[in-house]
Structure 1
Amino acid sequence: MAETTPATSNRFPPQIPFIIGQEICERFSFYGMRNILMVFLMDYLLRNVNPDPAMREATAKSHFHLFMSGVYFFPLFGGYLADRFLGKYRVIFWLSLLYCVGQFCLALFVDNIYGFYTGLFLISLGSGGIKPCVSAMVGDQFTAEKKHLVKKVFAIFYWSINLGSFFASLFIPLALKKFGPAVAFGIPGALMLVATVIYWAGRNHYVMIPPTGQNPHSFLKVVLSALRNPKERTPGQGWLSAARKDHPQEAIEGVRAVFRINLLLMPTIPFFWMLFDQKASTWVVQAKAMDPQVGDFTFQASQMQFINPALVMILIPVLAAVVYPAFQKMGWELTPLRRMPLGLVIGALSYVVAGYYQVVIEGGTKLNIAWQILPYIVLTVAEILVSTTGLEFAYTQAPREMKSVVQSLWLLNSTLANVAVAIAASLNIFTGSAQFFFYAGLAALAGVGMALMARGYQVRDYYQEAAPIPVGERAAPDLAPKGA
């Protein structure tokens, strides 16, 4: 084995550019279609289905968030397949091809509601299925000796997501306006195909963690064993200690880690995603009621979303290089368990500002669309504190064999959030300014609750202890699915 030097230990593995390149193009593809979806549903697809603008808006918002809930539900499916049977590479590759089919369905069926919604389903399956695998695969490329680079690579990974999102948000709404929906949805389809090719090109360089197969000590089996054998519990060791009859201590500790992470995140983080994902629905509707003229440029309502990824690319390095070290020098380090509750409260503040704008609009004043920059800035700071931190936190706190599943459960928070918003929209519970203040209040309460729960959380980081064998240094794996 080659000797590790300070220079090599600080160098990213050569396969990282393939994953980052794939992520940039895939995120362009996803955000390109997602950011125009609300406008397309309201102004094109549902126009003949429901002539009432208010009801059409409620239906479009409900359908939009149901689609988003699918995007964040299918990570459970992808993570399970990757961890247990196929491995991350094959799940990412084959679901990416399905993802491409879904994107091209949108371009081909812009006048057919059934064909279009079929495309949305395939995108939710493909995009959702690869989500936990890509982020976990990034972490898999690093061993314990390079664990100091994990924080940096996740920051770069999140930066690359926003690079793709930025260009998609800026240009695809213009494509919809100038060239129509077929072209506007076709461009993201082409970028998804490019993403798949880039990922395939790096196949001989990736470190691949083999799937475990049918795991006799899986999460569910350990839990069921503990529930079946309550008399086997060890006093003071918790209810999971009853599973020792059938499972090793390492498996029990892995299950404890999953519960420990999600008992902190699941009751609180969905309230942030309720805020964040509505920037592509509720905030777009608000922008449609504003004056779009800024100087010589006329903004599309959905185009304002470019502000978020642009700010993320600027603020991530500023926070990482300036703000976090400054707090550390002052003796109050912004740890992940401090950043996330703070981010929830700041996210609530963005909705207070946007809600005030809505009150003004409802009073008959037509605000300029540029006013949306302020709540976007506040929401973006909240996003970095919650989402970037949570992505890293969910990875490092999970045992090796459960990293993809825990990443899936992290993304499941968004499913819960979007289902709740979809139901609220379909029932028309809150409209106008009331909905902004309602969601702001929920997020603020969640931030306070998370801060209180975080006091009792015990941090434990998990990293690989040794380097897995790169695929190029062993027999090449059969990349076709079983039975193909």
Structure 2
Amino acid sequence: MTSGTGAREKTFFGHPSGLATLFGTEMWERFSWYGLRAILATFMAASPAMGGLGLTQQTATAVVGIYGALIYLVALPGGWVADRILGARRAVLWGGFIIMCGHISMAIPVSTGAFVALGLLLIITGSGLLKPNISAMVGKLYPEDDDARRDAGFSIFYLGINIGAFVAPLIVGWLAAGGRWHLGFSAAAVGMALGLTQYVLGRRHLRGVGDEPGHRLSPRERRHFALALAVAVVVVGAVLAVWVASGTFDLDTFALAVTVIILIVPVAYFGYILFGSHNLTPGERSGMKAYIWLFVAAAIFWMLYDLAPTVLLFFAQDRTDLTLFGIRITAATTQAFNPLFIALLVPVFAALWVKLGNRVTAPHKFVFALFMNGLSFVVMALAAQLAAHGRISVWWLVLVYLVQVFGELAMSPVGLSITSKLAPQAFKGQMLGVWFIAISVGDAVGGQTARLKNYMSEPMYFLTLAGIAIAAAVVLFMFVGRLDAMIGEHHEEAASAGPAAS
């Protein structure tokens, strides 16, 4: 039963009925995202005779890397647009519609890559509007003081994410098998259409949540924003047009240029926070310095972890016997291992963190996450060594994804939590977007690591990445005590300030 409503109001597992609307929308949006993700790299690297784009695996890896990076990077401006112009409800609606159009563009069965590029651009734009704002709407379904039900509601919401992430590779991968790529893209479009339909039909259950922007722009500010946006689009378009006209444009260089830009973003942002005139207290400054360490650790983690839809997918396709329990599977099916293990292990890790309490701090958990990620790539190096003599069992990848999920469950939820705790008061509303930038940096740099294969064997490539993660874990472990002290200074100051600082 929902607080403040009639006694007969329907609920969703005891939660506001609006949660069902957002649950279904997010589940189908994740179906479309993970479905595309499961086949995108292999589609790009497939020969034109098989309906693909004929890119090298290195180039496909780089392009998918910056695609994933931009998806997370645009969460910051997407949240701002909702807060200042559209409101969260309309931002999610328009975001979902733009995503659907992107998948439709990719589903058009033509040999040119222009519709693919347009499709990816639309999906990136739409995700920036939908991804941060649908989560914000879940939180707003509950009264401010109802933390327990809100946490439980988010748990149900994330269940929808994992259902979509698990089912999508199975269905989309099966449809796209044998060069039927555009059929797979069509399934992703249908998934987003179903999510939009549920969102529109369930609008009444949201009861006005997200209808209005939190801090609407004045008419003068809107004109300035429209002008700035138009200038930015024209400048970027002109630069790309000149680059293409010069005959020097190629996807590898473009991906590298975007990666460099993405790397500049967090450097500039942290510099702005620490050196700008924001009246940071000593505790806030100490907390931010500690957070930069954790941010770098997270970026290294995602650099390896998000090679799943590229490097590990190609390994599944080219190096493994795609048979599980005597049943033939597609390479895309291997992308379902990760969400399956997450769904199974989330309750285990949630109970473990409660049992360990404050004895294991956030930096300790980041160390564990990096080490497990590194260990998974040690396993990949061994698998690659064995695969040099012929195809190996796909169970090697099952093991790799299982080890990685141990790390992910120590990194992802803890990262969100520590980000909100260490955010300076002046940046409370922006810092969760900064966490997404860590994923963006990791994805972009990870996409560039495929270049290393030009200079080393596949086993050595995996060992090199494993070495980076394990070395980062060792360095972070050496400074855990100092980081705990810096974080403690932030917490002590916030506690002494009382409710005003919370």
Q: TM (normalized to structure 2)?
A: 0.75
Residue in 2 aligned with 1:207? 209
Residue in 2 aligned with 1:23? 26
Gap change, CA 1:311 and 1:206, over 3 Å in 2: farther
Which of 337, 349, 366 in structure 2 is aligned with 1:307? 337
Q: Within 5 A, what are the aligned runs for 1:424-443?
A: 424-426=449-451, 428=454, 432-443=458-469
Residue in 1 aligned with 2:327? 297
Offset of residue 443 of structure 1: 1.9
Q: Within 5 A, what are the aligned runs for 1:279-428?
A: 279-288=308-317, 289-321=319-351, 323-328=352-357, 333-362=359-388, 364-395=389-420, 397-398=422-423, 402=427, 405-426=430-451, 428=454
Contact residue 351 and residue 440 of structure 1 kept, 8 A: yes
Offset of residue 413 of structure 1: 1.3
Residue in 2 aligned with 1:146? 146
Q: Within 5 A, what are the aligned runs for 1:268-287?
A: 268-287=297-316
Distance 1:88 1:413 in 2: 24
Distance 2:111 2:291 in 1: 42
Offset of residue 79 of structure 1: 1.9
Note the alpha carbon deviations across 1:52-84, whole angstroms, 9 max, x for none.
xxx711121122112112212211220221233
Contact residue 372 and residue 403 of structure 2 kept, 8 A: yes
Offset of residue 143 of structure 1: 4.2
Q: Supply the AA of the counterpart residue of 2:292.
A: L
Distance 1:36 1:388 in 2: 27
The range that moved more, 367-376 or 103-112, is 103-112
Note the alpha carbon deviations across 1:115-169, whole angstroms, 9 max, x for none.
1111011112212332222233333334442223444334333332111010012
Partner-residue secondary structure (3-state), 2:398: helix
Gap change, CA 1:315 and 1:239, over 3 Å in 2: same
Note the alpha carbon deviations across 1:12-69, whole angstroms, 9 max, x for none.
3332222222111110010001111111111245979987xxx711121122112112
Residue in 1 aligned with 2:229? none
Offset of residue 239 of structure 1: 6.0
Distance 1:360 1:70 in 2: 35
Residue in 1 aligned with 2:193? 193
Distance 1:157 1:48 in 2: 36
Mapped pair 1:266 → 2:266: no
Question: By percentage of residues, which structure has more helix?
Answer: 2
Offset of residue 350 of structure 1: 0.9
Gap change, CA 1:44 and 1:352, over 3 Å in 2: same
Mapped pair 1:125 → 2:125: yes
Gap change, CA 1:34 and 1:2, over 3 Å in 2: closer
Note the alpha carbon deviations across 1:195-231, whole angstroms, 9 max, x for none.
1232332354253374224699xxx9xx99x99xxxx
Partner-residue secondary structure (3-state), 2:17: coil
Contact residue 45 and residue 52 of structure 2 kept, 8 A: no
Offset of residue 256 of structure 1: 5.8
Offset of residue 186 of structure 1: 0.4
Offset of residue 296 of structure 1: 3.0
Mapped pair 1:158 → 2:188: no
Residue in 1 aligned with 2:240? none
Gap change, CA 1:210 and 1:333, over 3 Å in 2: farther
Offset of residue 432 of structure 1: 1.0
Contact residue 105 and residue 119 of structure 2 kept, 8 A: yes
**Structure 2: gaps of 5 or more residues:** 6-10, 222-264
Offset of residue 259 of structure 1: 4.1
Contact residue 51 and residue 179 of structure 2 kept, 8 A: no
Paired residues, number: 428
Q: Supply the AA of the counterpart residue of 1:394.
A: T
Distance 2:93 2:448 in 1: 33
Partner-residue secondary structure (3-state), 2:207: coil
Distance 1:402 1:276 in 2: 28
Q: Supply the AA of the counterpart residue of 1:42.
A: A
Distance 1:50 1:90 in 2: 35
Gap change, CA 1:398 and 1:157, over 3 Å in 2: farther
Distance 1:151 1:450 in 2: 30
The range that moved more, 188-197 or 202-211, is 202-211
Offset of residue 444 of structure 1: 2.2
Contact residue 28 and residue 167 of structure 1 kept, 8 A: yes
Q: Within 5 A, what are the aligned runs for 1:35-50?
A: 35-44=38-47
Mapped pair 1:182 → 2:208: no
Q: Supply the AA of the counterpart residue of 1:408.
A: G
Contact residue 344 and residue 446 of structure 1 kept, 8 A: yes
Residue in 1 aligned with 2:99? 99
Q: Output the aligned Cα RMSD.
A: 3.7
Distance 1:35 1:285 in 2: 11
Partner-residue secondary structure (3-state), 2:42: helix
The range that moved more, 142-151 or 266-275, is 142-151
Contact residue 28 and residue 192 of structure 2 kept, 8 A: yes
**Structure 1: gaps of 5 or more residues:** 228-237, 466-484
Note the alpha carbon deviations across 1:326-375, whole angstroms, 9 max, x for none.
334xxx6445443333212111111111111111212x143111221111
Distance 2:116 2:275 in 1: 48
Partner-residue secondary structure (3-state), 2:487: coil
Q: Within 5 A, what are the aligned runs for 1:240-251?
A: 243=278
Gap change, CA 1:433 and 1:50, over 3 Å in 2: farther
Offset of residue 408 of structure 1: 1.9
Offset of residue 302 of structure 1: 2.1
Offset of residue 107 of structure 1: 0.6
Distance 2:102 2:467 in 1: 37
Contact residue 132 and residue 405 of structure 1 kept, 8 A: no
Residue in 2 aligned with 1:480? none
Distance 1:197 1:254 in 2: 47
Residue in 2 aligned with 1:473? none
Distance 1:168 1:156 in 2: 19
Distance 1:374 1:159 in 2: 23
Q: Supply the AA of the counterpart residue of 2:135.
A: S
Distance 1:239 1:181 in 2: 49
Residue in 1 aligned with 2:227? none
Contact residue 290 and residue 366 of structure 1 kept, 8 A: yes
